[in-house]
């Protein structure tokens, strides 16, 4: 079914109607229309474009963030649209970069005691040296100003 058919189209028409109704009821400012649109209708809609939230958001259901298994021996990890990673190396393996990160993206790594995160031009660790991922512990990095920075 194409994106603009079915329930999605119905939801869009519903939102368009609510905007029209709001303007006809005397609302003249965007805030008034935005307040009207923020009222829940109980219908689900699919949003295909990026969304920027301008205020605190409370999800009825948290977005799914599965734990990704990283292949043994990998030293560069693709993090595009992924946030949680589990390593299961059986010998020392040094991660030298996380590629396809987005500004502000946070990643959480679950270690096994053999994987290390390099401190280099791509990754800035708090200790200014390589960090070993402790067995069973979660470690966090955030992509800011073009580098992955360890979060303590």
pLDDT tens for 17-29 read 666 665 665 655 5
Do residues 42 and 19 share a domain? Answer: yes
pLDDT category of residue 85 using cuts at 50, 70 and 90: very high
Do residues 142 and 73 share a domain? Answer: yes
How many separate domains does the chain show? 2
Do residues 137 and 78 share a domain? Answer: yes
Question: Cα separation of 46 and 62, whole Å?
Answer: 15
pLDDT tens sequence across 99-117: 999 999 999 999 999 999 9
Which DSSP category does 136 fall into? T
Do residues 84 and 135 share a domain? Answer: yes
pLDDT at residue 23, as a whole number? 60
Do residues 74 and 139 share a domain? Answer: yes
Question: Cα separation of 152 and 150, whole Å?
Answer: 6
pLDDT at residue 19, as a whole number? 62
Candidate ranges 21-35, 53-67, 83-97; pick with highest mean pLDDT:
83-97
Residue 84 structural domain: 67-151
Which of 58, 76, 92 lies at the terminal end of a domain, its last residue? 58
* More confident position, 6 or 109: 109
Do residues 83 and 27 share a domain? Answer: no
């Amino acid at each position: 079914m194409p994106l603009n058919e079915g329930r999605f189209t119905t939801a869009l028409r519903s939102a368009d109607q609510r905007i029209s109704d709001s303007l006809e009821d005397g609302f003249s400012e965007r805030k008034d229309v935005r307040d009207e649109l923020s009222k829940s209708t109980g219908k689900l809609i699919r949003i295909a474009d990026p969304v920027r939230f301008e205020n605190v958001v409370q999800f009825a259901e948290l977005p799914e963030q599965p734990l990704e298994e990283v292949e043994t021996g990998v030293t560069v990890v693709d993090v595009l649209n992924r946030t949680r990673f589990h390593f299961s190396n059986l010998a020392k393996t040094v991660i030298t970069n996380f590629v396809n990160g987005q500004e502000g993206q946070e990643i959480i790594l679950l270690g096994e005691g053999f994987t290390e995160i390099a401190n280099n031009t791509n990754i800035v660790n708090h200790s200014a040296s390589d960090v070993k991922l402790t067995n069973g512990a979660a470690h966090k990095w955030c992509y800011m100003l073009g580098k992955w920075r360890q979060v303590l």
